Structure 1
Amino acid sequence: MEVIVKRRSRRKVSWFRRLFRFSLLLIVLSMLAAVLLLTYLKMEGAPVLQVSQTTRLLDANDVIIGESHQGQNRYWVPLEEISEQLLNATLSIEDRKFYDHYGFDPTRIAGAVVANVKSGGKAQGASTITQQYARNLYLTHDKTWKRKFNEALYALRLEMYYTKDEILEGYLNTIYYGHGAYGIEAAARHFFNKKASDLNLAEASLLAGIPKGPSYYSPQNDFERAKQRQELILRSMVQTGHITSAEAEAAKNKPLELAISEKEDTGAIGPYFQEYVRNLLIEEYNIDEALVEQGGLQIFTTLDRDMQAEAERWVEIELGPTEELQAALVAVDPRTGDVKALVGGRNYLQSPFNRATQARRSPGSTFKPFLYYAALEHGFTPSSTLLSEATTFTFDDGRPDYSPSNFNNNYANDFVTLLQALAFSDNIFAVKTHLFLDTETLVETAARFGINSRLENIPSLALGSNDVQLLELTNSYSSFTNGGKRVEPRFIRKVIDKTGQVIFEKEPVTEQILDPKLAFIMTDIMTAMFDRSINDYASVTGGSVAHLVNRPVAGKSGSTPFDSWMVGYTPQLVTGVWVGYDLEKRLNHATEGQIAKRIWAQFTEHALKDDLKLDFHKPPGVTGVYINPKNGLLATDECPVKRLTYFVSGTEPTEYCQAHMPEEPEVEMTEEEVHEKEKFLDRFIKWFN
């Protein structure tokens, strides 16, 4: 009997030893596996925190005009700019032991496993804030064990390389709150039109409950259900000691004012402008496209939203119902080069092709101011005259004859002044001037103004035969009104990244390229296109819209069989307009030829309605005299038309117009005077003989 007892005792000891050894082996293997796992995770390095964030475009007054967020509306804010009440509410309901664990909570996991086994599924999760953050960054939301395992691995890596505050900040900036709002800042703006830093206890406890089920607990979808979730969170905050029961009761009863869910369609504010800005950042300034689209950038542009609205309004009104007819408009501040408004077509959604920056068309007579500026540099004045008549130009170098014509074959058949030639857009005068100067002169002069398009050294260049871009043509006119300085068109003032660092900044760029005196004289000449008092063998080209603009303006219109142009300016604003068809379809100039001028005039008048009516600045060294615009001579009281016109001091005309002086009447002589004259003649003949 004693032997049997001893044997049983030995067997118990033997099984105990085996269990102990096995348990010890499991512990050793587990520790070894843990060391290997941690070593592997350490070797993997810090996980990259690549989070899609909303990029915002702001106008000249730093007001948002557009957003790019790839469907995820998110604004990153640092932890210190998030309401403390929101932090406490989130920790109380999502992860009370957040600052004590190392990425996952074993107690919660065990409880979740038991609950899931009882329910026969995966109904209950046990993810910590770190795990949820890892899932938002790197994983899907599928409820699988594989995803949970990877989630734990990423959570460990996050805990290894980032502080608790960094993880909590990341979590609150990536968690989804519904309605396209990712992160607490986007949620605070969407639901309460507030910053995350300004949330009170009632608002914070309501928002903290949404991530559990963004659609289910959205106060905009079901307010009562959201309130029930809010009460649960407030009780949880009382249990964790963050607030008192009295504070919880006050927050529960505090009325909540939800923001109106309808959101301004900021994408409709200058869509062609916004798209050009994005392309500019990527293609010219070499900023990564992903960063531009979803990097949380703040892009400060030069757009004036009021001017943009006026531009779009007048393009729509003046184009009318003809859907094929297109238009483009660019408005630039000549002092800085800032692009204040841009329209690339009548409808961005139907056609995103930007006719202001992508299309190149023949500018017609809008090219003539560059020619006449070159003429002023070579000794011409506003009073210089050339013969306006039907002309065929013959060249001795083998080039074919060239026979330009005036509009409707209307010629003075007499000498006309440069002032008239530009106001009436006389083509014969322009080509004669072009050939007199040497055709290469115009190519070089236009390049000085900022025309970068390829120009040919040909006679028809004087009439704008080479294609140019509306943006470059409009901006080049800035030099006429800003004292002769060339300015670079500026769309972007600066770009700030999500951390507040300036990654790009552009100041206005100007360069003195013209003689200020000649630039002012050209401006004075270009005001004549609106002066109907000088109508003669032709009418001034701006007479039909002169009554629409009640301030000093200058400019030049132009046309081709396929295009209608108007570029004009005030001291504050240069605006260019193009109207035409995308395909090779001719314009009906009888009905469509004035549209560009009307868009320009209406936009200029209304865009500057609140601005001072400034005169163009007259520099020293310029003298104004009244001339007869028909012959360029000093006007007399008898001249039916006289115009104050400016010249470089010392080049103004000195001869008075005699064309309208009264003839001296014949005086009849008396008989005595006749007799005396005859006697004088007799004496003179006698003396000579």
Structure 2
Amino acid sequence: MEVLTRTAYHKRRRLWTKILWFGVLVIFFSFLTLSALVLYAYQMERPSLSVPDTTVVYSADGERIGEFHQGEHRYWIPLDQMGNTIVDATLAIEDRRFYDHYGFDPIRITRAALTNVLSGSKAQGASTITQQYARNLFLTHDKTWARKWHEALYALRLELHYSKKEILEGYLNTIYYGHGAYGIEAAANLYFQKNADELTYSEAALLAGIPKGPSIYSPFVDEERAFTRQHTVLRSMEEAGTLSPEERAGYESAPLTFASSQETEGKRVAPYFQDAVRQWLAEEHGFDPAMLDGGGLEIHTTLHSGLQKHAEDIISRELDPDHELETALVAMDPRTGDVRALVGGKNYTDSPFNRATQAKRHPGSTMKPFLYYAALEHGLKPNSMLKSEETTFVFDEGRDEYKPSNFNHRYADDYITMLQALAVSDNIFAIKTHFLLGFEDLLHTAGRFGIESPLEANPSLALGTSDVGVLEMTKSYSPFANGGYRITPRLVEKIEDRDGNILFEANMERKQEFNPAHTAIMTDLMKGMFEPELSASFGAVTGGSISNVLDRPVAGKSGSTQSDSWMIGYTPQLLTGVWTGYDDARFLESGDAAHSKQIWAKFMKKSLDGELKLSFPVPKNVTEVSINPANGLLATEHCPVSRPTLFYKGTEPTEYCNEHIGELEEETFETEGDSEDSPSGREDKKKEKWLDRFTDWIP
């Protein structure tokens, strides 16, 4: 037995006292250091939890049609909408003591550090969910001691400024699950085509195992490893008390059905329309493209998914995919301006160039309705007559000439009515009207209808030789269909953030720009292109080939140039414009021009099936009388064609046509002499010069 002397005893006692005090000082200074660290972390600003979040695009009927993102598919959802399965599985495999620590676990970190030192590697990890979340938000994934220190500091800041629920919610919305899917909602959609709260424990356990190594444990990469990892997660859930042994065994053997590779790539409906939405929001309404890509927005568009499918299907059947002929289609509600379908080409993958919004082409005779509306404002009427004949026009004080021609160089060589001229698209009648009104008049009128592209005030403007866009040209017909209101197209109804707050709501912009009486008369005139009875020896109505397709009131105008073919037409509830041509503006080949009308007619027919057959509105100051379209006089039972036609009240004809009554009656008229009202007198009157006749039409 050792016997200590008094001196030795006191030395040992002083030593233990020093050790005790040293320990107290270490604890004290550690506490001060920790307190200072906590105070330092607390006084630092609240760290932002903002991450790029996928913006989802919806159709007007609620279908998800696409998304905008920065390469990270992420749909932020509240923790309450994730379901218990993924929460239980994640906590069991990643951090069972999540609700008991303050962001990092010193014991786990020390144990992992010792293991790594002894093994000479950095393979062992002990990060909590909070640390992983901090790393995902602010740091790299390098395994260094400096990164670990910053990770712990950020984790402490998160714990001090946010609740456990907010941290867990943020973690599950940001963790990477492979194949571009960030967050559990994106992962559930990617692997199982369902929402997070619909996951079974088998599915949730498989997903919870992926973040440890997405390139290893993804079932799309290695299904066997994915299921091995799933079993590890399920055993952890059993150890945590979440599952019983029987439940764990049942979930291990439960079969899983994964999404196909096509579904994995995601569905994108109406890509041309979605590009137009991005452009419209950025250029017209000032949205930052970064906000659109990473703001986690919900964009509710005006697109009708059914009409869009009709348009794409009809175009795919009508146009040869191997042929270079291209097309564009825009369909909209003329009452509101809502764009219901938009196609910018045959194949977005081959050519994302959006011909509906980006291309500028010659509109041809689709400009004529603006011209004839201006003529109505100047006092011309549906039965006003000009002579259709080969004509050379001299202008610019005799310094220049313009010699237009009709299709196939066929002319009436007689006076024809505006009604018939528009139905057969007579160019001479249009150019004479253009000269009578003045070139600036059509330029101004087209601008009032919504043509914003620069136009040249020249003789050929009436025949559509200035470039315009397809969407631009189509929406400019809206006033004809809606009673004179100029409408601004809408592609988006509203935009919400991920919390449901409305960030943007598109107002319906309507302006009563035009006389409803004149737009009603113009619509009545444009119905003529579908009436074969208005055809004549010098020309057939331009819509005769599709007149039997539609079984409801419809109006419109076709147009063609050497390189472009157009068809724009409408009912009271649907306005559609179609263009076909070549991107390099080469001349159309034989048969190319027919496609625009066929696409238009088939689309209108399919889209309106089952809809009410609405009549075009007629104001009270407009009256309808039956006329002979060939001479514009009131029709009798003897006339071969009698066409009900609208007139502004007080301007309708009062003289009856007597050119087709019996021979006896004709002889009677002849004995009465060649009065101005007799057939011979009227024939002489018809031969008056067209400029003299124009002055007679002015009230």
TM-score (norm 2): 0.87
RMSD over aligned CA atoms reads 2.9
Deviation at 1:67, TM superposition (A): 1.9
Deviation at 1:149, TM superposition (A): 2.1
The 10-residue stretch of structure 1 (314-323 or 171-180) with the greater mean CA deviation from structure 2? 314-323
Are the counterparts in 2 of residues 484 and 512 from structure 1 also a CA contact under 8 Å? Answer: yes
Are the counterparts in 1 of residues 94 and 129 from structure 2 also a CA contact under 8 Å? Answer: yes
Question: Equivalent residues in 2 for 1:98-137 (5 A)?
Answer: 98-137=98-137
Equivalent in the alignment of 2:334: 334
Deviation string, structure 1 residues 348-377 (Cα, Å, up to 9, x no partner) = 233322221122222121011011112222
Letter in 2 for 1:484: G
Equivalent in the alignment of 1:687: none
Question: Equivalent residues in 2 for 1:527-676 (5 A)?
Answer: 527-536=527-536, 537-588=538-589, 590-664=590-664
- CA separation of 1:85 and 1:609: change in aligned 2, threshold 3 A: same
- CA separation of 1:8 and 1:38: change in aligned 2, threshold 3 A: same
SS of the residue 1:524 aligns to: helix
SS of the residue 2:110 aligns to: helix
The 10-residue stretch of structure 1 (423-432 or 221-230) with the greater mean CA deviation from structure 2? 221-230
Equivalent in the alignment of 2:178: 178
Deviation string, structure 1 residues 393-435 (Cα, Å, up to 9, x no partner) = 3346576233333223322221110001111212221122223
Deviation at 1:47, TM superposition (A): 1.6
Equivalent in the alignment of 2:505: 505
- CA separation of 1:84 and 1:640: change in aligned 2, threshold 3 A: same
Equivalent in the alignment of 2:469: 469
Alpha-carbon separation, structure 1, partners of 2:526 and 2:475: 16
Alpha-carbon separation, structure 1, partners of 2:71 and 2:213: 19
Are the counterparts in 2 of residues 448 and 513 from structure 1 also a CA contact under 8 Å? Answer: yes
**1:277 matched to 2:277:** yes
Alpha-carbon separation, structure 1, partners of 2:8 and 2:264: 85
Letter in 1 for 2:137: L
Bigger Rg, which one: 1
Are the counterparts in 2 of residues 67 and 266 from structure 1 also a CA contact under 8 Å? Answer: no
Equivalent in the alignment of 2:400: 400
Alpha-carbon separation, structure 2, partners of 1:310 and 1:240: 54
Equivalent in the alignment of 2:72: 72
Alpha-carbon separation, structure 2, partners of 1:430 and 1:326: 29
Alpha-carbon separation, structure 2, partners of 1:162 and 1:307: 47
- CA separation of 1:115 and 1:27: change in aligned 2, threshold 3 A: same
Alpha-carbon separation, structure 1, partners of 2:593 and 2:258: 52
SS of the residue 1:60 aligns to: coil
Are the counterparts in 1 of residues 389 and 412 from structure 2 also a CA contact under 8 Å? Answer: yes
Equivalent in the alignment of 1:447: 447
- CA separation of 1:349 and 1:447: change in aligned 2, threshold 3 A: same
Question: Equivalent residues in 2 for 1:116-265 (5 A)?
Answer: 116-219=116-219, 225-245=225-245, 247-248=247-248, 251-252=251-252, 256-260=256-260, 262-263=262-263
Letter in 1 for 2:375: A
Letter in 2 for 1:625: V
Deviation string, structure 1 residues 44-101 (Cα, Å, up to 9, x no partner) = 4122212222211111211111122333222111112121243233222211221221
Are the counterparts in 1 of residues 191 and 264 from structure 2 also a CA contact under 8 Å? Answer: no
Alpha-carbon separation, structure 1, partners of 2:565 and 2:193: 46
Are the counterparts in 1 of residues 321 and 346 from structure 2 also a CA contact under 8 Å? Answer: no
**1:345 matched to 2:345:** yes
Alpha-carbon separation, structure 2, partners of 1:350 and 1:237: 49
Q: Give the gaps of 5 or more residues in structure 1.
A: 668-689
Letter in 1 for 2:121: G
Are the counterparts in 1 of residues 42 and 161 from structure 2 also a CA contact under 8 Å? Answer: no
Deviation at 1:125, TM superposition (A): 0.4
Deviation string, structure 1 residues 498-523 (Cα, Å, up to 9, x no partner) = 12211111143222222223222211
SS of the residue 1:366 aligns to: helix
Alpha-carbon separation, structure 1, partners of 2:459 and 2:665: 51
Equivalent in the alignment of 2:676: none
Deviation string, structure 1 residues 155-186 (Cα, Å, up to 9, x no partner) = 12211211111101101111122343321222
Are the counterparts in 1 of residues 231 and 252 from structure 2 also a CA contact under 8 Å? Answer: yes
SS of the residue 1:211 aligns to: coil
Are the counterparts in 1 of residues 422 and 525 from structure 2 also a CA contact under 8 Å? Answer: yes
Deviation at 1:473, TM superposition (A): 0.9
Deviation string, structure 1 residues 417-472 (Cα, Å, up to 9, x no partner) = 00011112122211222232333332332222222222333333222232221111
SS of the residue 1:394 aligns to: strand
Letter in 1 for 2:487: V
Deviation string, structure 1 residues 489-545 (Cα, Å, up to 9, x no partner) = 111111111122111111432222222232222111111112222221212122233
SS of the residue 1:263 aligns to: helix
Deviation at 1:147, TM superposition (A): 2.3
Deviation at 1:549, TM superposition (A): 3.7
Deviation at 1:312, TM superposition (A): 2.5
Q: Give the gaps of 5 or more residues in structure 2.
A: 668-699
Alpha-carbon separation, structure 2, partners of 1:280 and 1:92: 47
Alpha-carbon separation, structure 1, partners of 2:501 and 2:321: 47
Are the counterparts in 2 of residues 376 and 518 from structure 1 also a CA contact under 8 Å? Answer: yes
Alpha-carbon separation, structure 2, partners of 1:327 and 1:584: 12
Letter in 2 for 1:569: Y
SS of the residue 1:591 aligns to: coil
**1:385 matched to 2:385:** yes
- CA separation of 1:322 and 1:592: change in aligned 2, threshold 3 A: farther
Are the counterparts in 1 of residues 190 and 264 from structure 2 also a CA contact under 8 Å? Answer: no
Letter in 2 for 1:629: P
- CA separation of 1:132 and 1:454: change in aligned 2, threshold 3 A: same
Are the counterparts in 2 of residues 67 and 267 from structure 1 also a CA contact under 8 Å? Answer: no
- CA separation of 1:616 and 1:266: change in aligned 2, threshold 3 A: farther
Alpha-carbon separation, structure 1, partners of 2:42 and 2:409: 85
Are the counterparts in 2 of residues 332 and 339 from structure 1 also a CA contact under 8 Å? Answer: yes
Identity of counterpart residues, as a percentage? Answer: 55
Alpha-carbon separation, structure 2, partners of 1:334 and 1:266: 33
Letter in 2 for 1:276: A
Are the counterparts in 2 of residues 277 and 492 from structure 1 also a CA contact under 8 Å? Answer: yes
Alpha-carbon separation, structure 1, partners of 2:259 and 2:361: 48
Are the counterparts in 2 of residues 625 and 645 from structure 1 also a CA contact under 8 Å? Answer: yes
**1:287 matched to 2:300:** no
Are the counterparts in 2 of residues 65 and 266 from structure 1 also a CA contact under 8 Å? Answer: no
Deviation at 1:256, TM superposition (A): 4.5
SS of the residue 2:211 aligns to: helix
Alpha-carbon separation, structure 1, partners of 2:38 and 2:292: 36
Alpha-carbon separation, structure 2, partners of 1:665 and 1:473: 50
Equivalent in the alignment of 1:431: 431
Equivalent in the alignment of 1:672: none
Are the counterparts in 1 of residues 566 and 577 from structure 2 also a CA contact under 8 Å? Answer: yes
- CA separation of 1:255 and 1:326: change in aligned 2, threshold 3 A: closer
Deviation string, structure 1 residues 610-669 (Cα, Å, up to 9, x no partner) = 4344433334333322221111111222222222222223322121112222222999xx
Alpha-carbon separation, structure 2, partners of 1:443 and 1:253: 75
- CA separation of 1:319 and 1:195: change in aligned 2, threshold 3 A: closer
Alpha-carbon separation, structure 2, partners of 1:579 and 1:350: 17
Alpha-carbon separation, structure 1, partners of 2:105 and 2:473: 67
Letter in 1 for 2:73: N
Deviation at 1:595, TM superposition (A): 2.5
Alpha-carbon separation, structure 2, partners of 1:485 and 1:665: 49
- Counting matched residue pairs gives 665
**1:297 matched to 2:297:** yes
The 10-residue stretch of structure 1 (576-585 or 260-269) with the greater mean CA deviation from structure 2? 260-269
Equivalent in the alignment of 1:356: 356
Alpha-carbon separation, structure 2, partners of 1:176 and 1:396: 71
Deviation at 1:128, TM superposition (A): 0.2
Alpha-carbon separation, structure 2, partners of 1:200 and 1:176: 20
Equivalent in the alignment of 2:48: 48
Deviation at 1:232, TM superposition (A): 4.2
TM-score (norm 1): 0.89
Deviation at 1:135, TM superposition (A): 1.3
